[in-house]
């Protein structure tokens, strides 16, 4: 059995994942954000409690950990996040000793991408786009996670889609993230708050979707404009990668076909390969395993790492 | 020896390329654009003349052909170009019979990308961007040409960089190509033709560079603005791929450091990995083998194909 650990800004989710990528047991604890010691203890305890929960003997074959921020893959170290104090935790040492198993660390969006990829069938090339505070992503090429020369590839949110446009959290202007993140959606919704019967401070990513459903014309316009921004990003990805599939994740993916259908339509119209209808086309879908994607992907990357180090 | 054929809108360039990717002999003939028969004859004759030129016995091990437009890789057929009448030529059959060698066909930008990649050392992931009438490209991942699920990936010119902006040749709006192609540079230069002492009909891609060098302020502005558009595209590619290198090709790459330096500067400032100076960075360079890239790449893809079919 493989252990997958998905460290988020709110919770640490841990799961027992078999070699088929099925999560058979899971557990979750809040993420301590005060000290590195508390974070380390919570990480250890979460796994211990998960193993206690199991009513069978668990043979830990591999451990995979996905975290936001910067990791040192080579040494299995959690290096830096602006939200969680890692204290340069050597996770390979910690869990490797404890469970006598290979341990790998990876960026959280990459883990989610690999998790989502694992539930597809017969695919080789795959792009995951996650819409949240920012716009993140992960790329799978020929069945392997693609991370570039320095491990930080797939910053899909930092394609320029509106040169010279809105300020982005990265300090640049006009990035996809400044238009297609849920943060941007909230900003756009706040701009029309006088046309909604809602305290602006209570506006969330759901507001425009909910108010549009109720028939508010301004909310409908904001929602549809934002969805088109997502479509612009996905179409650019399709024109560069022509992958087997693009999957869109993040809590907002729960909006379902209201979100998916117009993205599919936009991409169908803006896919460069549209000129030749005989060519196979990239499938566009919403996340299938949502909150489990990170832990499943981390566990399967752990399994992959095990296969590399133990031959 | 491998034969590389690079079919362009003006000339068919053929070359004898050894397994190290060195072009040892080359030949060029004009590309017939009137009938499929004339095109086929020119293609055959070009190779025959090349072999006649050789003062040694040539053992043809593989043939690679790069062409603009659509190819059927599986069957080795030249399917369609809007400029050259292919007449569904089965190049595998034609050259396979003639030289008793494996034959592969590929898109021309992909061949050039693979050619440029072949003269790098120790690289795995590589992106080629070619600036010309349009903006094309080719992607190499882990040493292999990446073409996606339908063979038409790497349409780098059709990333949206200016959502809702200038009309693109593809029918959409705001594509990178509409801002960073040489066609766009010519358009921008024509817009300031009243500030240049040049007949607008004589404006080429070189004009802004030449007039800027002479001190014309308007030309300088046009040149620098256009170079920044190229930078926007390259930075987006870097943020998605973090490849070992991005190489910029097309005749305009002859402008040298006047073109390259500001692109490097823009990318250094807009590379998402800039936040961590310790991370290795993507190298940005201009084409090293320019007019030979297509034939060399085609020949090496032919060699690769041979290795796949003859095991």
Name the pTM for this structure: 0.95
- Across the interface, whether the CB atoms of B239 and A155 are under 8 A apart is answered yes
Residue in chain B lying closest to A277 (CA): B150
Minimum Cα–Cα distance from B176: chain A residue = A161
Whole-number Å distance between alpha carbons of B28 and B25: 11
* Residue of chain A whose Cα is closest to the Cα of B80: A276
CA-based nearest residue in chain B for residue A122: B149
- Cα–Cα distance measured from residue A209 to residue A58, given in angstroms and rounded to the nearest whole number: 44
This complex has an ipTM of: 0.95
CB contact under 8 A, B242 and A163: no
| pLDDT average, residue stretch A69-92 | 94
Chain A interface, best mutation among B88, B134, B159, by max A CB count within 10 A: B159
Neighbouring residues of A278: CB distance < 8 A, sequence distance ≥ 6: none
Locate tokens 């849920």: which residue? A182
- The encoded tokens of residue A202 equal 């209570």
Lowest average pLDDT, out of A19-23, A258-262, B79-83, goes to: B79-83
Residues of A in contact with B281 (CB under 8 A): 150
- The answer to whether the Cβ–Cβ distance between A150 and B279 falls below 8 Å is yes
Disruptive mutation site among A69, A80, A110, A153 for chain B (greatest number of B CBs within 10 Å): A153
The token pair that represents A278 in the structure block: 């005989």
Chain B: closest CA distance from residue A87 (Å): 17
- pLDDT for A55 equals 85
Nearest-by-Cβ selection for A146 from B141, B236, B276 = B141
Please, what is the average pLDDT of chain A? Answer: 96
| Angle value at C-alpha B194, between B189 and B197, nearest 5 degrees | 85
User: What secondary structure letter does DSSP report for A251?
Assistant: G
User: What pLDDT sits at residue A89?
Assistant: 98
B243, B244, B246, B247: CA torsion to nearest 10? -150
Q: Chain A closest CA to B52's CA: distance in Å?
A: 40
Give me the tens of pLDDT residue by residue for chain B, a chain 311 residues long. Answer: 999 999 999 999 999 999 999 999 999 999 999 999 999 999 999 999 999 999 888 999 999 999 998 899 999 999 999 889 999 999 999 999 999 999 999 999 999 999 999 999 999 999 999 999 999 999 999 999 999 999 999 999 999 999 999 999 999 999 999 999 999 999 999 999 999 989 999 999 999 999 999 999 999 999 999 999 999 999 999 999 999 999 999 999 999 999 999 999 999 999 999 988 999 999 999 999 999 999 999 999 999 999 998 86
DSSP string, chain A: -EEEEEE-SSEEEEEEE-TTS-EEEEEEEE---S-HHHHHHHHHHHHHHHHHH-SS-----EEEEEESSEEETTTTEEEE-SSS--TT-BHHHHHHHHHTS-EEEEEHHHHHHHHHHHTSSS---EEEEEESSSEEEEEEETTEEE-TTTS----GGGSBSBTT-SB-TTS-BSBTHHHHSHHHHHHHHHHTGGGTTS-GGG--TTHHHHHHHTT-HHHHHHHHHHHHHHHHHHHHHHHHH--SEEEEESGGGGGTHHHHHHHHHHHHHH-GGGG-TTS---EEEE-SSGGGHHHHHHHHHHHHHHHHH--
**Rounded mean pLDDT of A16-31?**
97
Residue A69 vs residue A128, higher pLDDT: A128
* The pLDDT of residue B311: 66
- Of B263, B305, B299, the C-alpha closest to B284 is B263
What are the residues whose beta carbons fall under 8 Å from the beta carbon of B185, sequence distance 6 or more? B205, B208, B222, B223, B226, B252
pLDDT band at A310 (very low <50, low <70, confident <90, very high): confident
Closest residue by Cα to residue B236 from B180, B173, B170, B185? B180
- Chain segment A118-147, per-residue pLDDT in tens: 999 999 999 999 999 999 999 999 999 999
Distance, in Å, from the CA atom of B82 to the CA atom of A284, rounded to the nearest integer, reads 30
pLDDT in tens, A171-225: 999 999 999 999 999 999 999 999 998 999 999 999 999 999 999 999 999 999 9
Predicted pLDDT at A11: 96
- What is the rounded CA–CA span in Å between residue A140 and residue A133? 23
Share of chain A above pLDDT 90, in %: 95
* Structure confidence by residue, pLDDT tens digits, B71-122: 999 999 999 998 899 999 999 999 999 999 999 999 999 999 999 999 999 9
| Strand arrangement, sheet containing A103-107 | A23-30, A11-17, A2-7, A62-67, A103-107
In this predicted structure, the answer to whether residue A114 has a pLDDT above a threshold of 80 is: yes
């Amino acid at each position: 059995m493989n252990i997958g650990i998905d460290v988020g800004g709110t919770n640490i989710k841990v799961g027992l994942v078999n070699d088929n990528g099925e999560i058979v047991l899971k557990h979750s604890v809040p993420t301590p954000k005060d000290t590195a010691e508390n974070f380390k203890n919570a990480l250890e305890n979460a796994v211990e409690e998960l193993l206690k929960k199991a009513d069978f003997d668990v043979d830990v074959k591999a451990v995979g950990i996905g975290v936001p921020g910067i990791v040192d893959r080579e040494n299995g170290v959690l290096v830096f996040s602006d939200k969680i104090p890692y204290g340069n935790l050597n996770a390979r040492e910690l869990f490797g000793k404890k469970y006598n198993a290979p341990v790998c660390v990876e960026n959280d969006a990459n883990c989610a991408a690999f998790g989502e990829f694992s539930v597809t069938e017969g695919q080789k090339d795959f792009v995951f786009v996650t819409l949240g505070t920012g716009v993140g992503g992960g790329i799978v090429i020929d069945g392997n996670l693609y991370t570039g020369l320095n491990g930080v590839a797939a910053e899909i949110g930092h394609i320029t889609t509106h040169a010279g446009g809105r300020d982005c959290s990265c300090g640049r202007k006009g990035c996809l993230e400044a238009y297609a993140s849920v943060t941007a959606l909230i900003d756009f919704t706040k701009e029309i708050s006088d046309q909604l019967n809602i305290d602006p401070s209570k506006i969330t990513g759901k507001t425009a979707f909910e108010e549009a459903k109720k028939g508010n014309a301004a909310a409908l316009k904001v929602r549809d404009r934002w969805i088109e921004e997502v479509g612009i990003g996905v179409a650019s990805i399709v024109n560069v990668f022509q992958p087997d599939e693009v999957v869109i994740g993040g809590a907002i993916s729960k909006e379902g076909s209201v979100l998916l259908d117009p993205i599919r339509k936009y991409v169908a119209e803006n896919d460069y390969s549209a000129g030749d209808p005989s060519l196979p086309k990239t499938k566009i879908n919403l996340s299938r395993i949502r909150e489990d994607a990170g832990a499943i992907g981390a566990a399967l990357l752990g399994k992959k790492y095990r296969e590399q180090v133990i031959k």
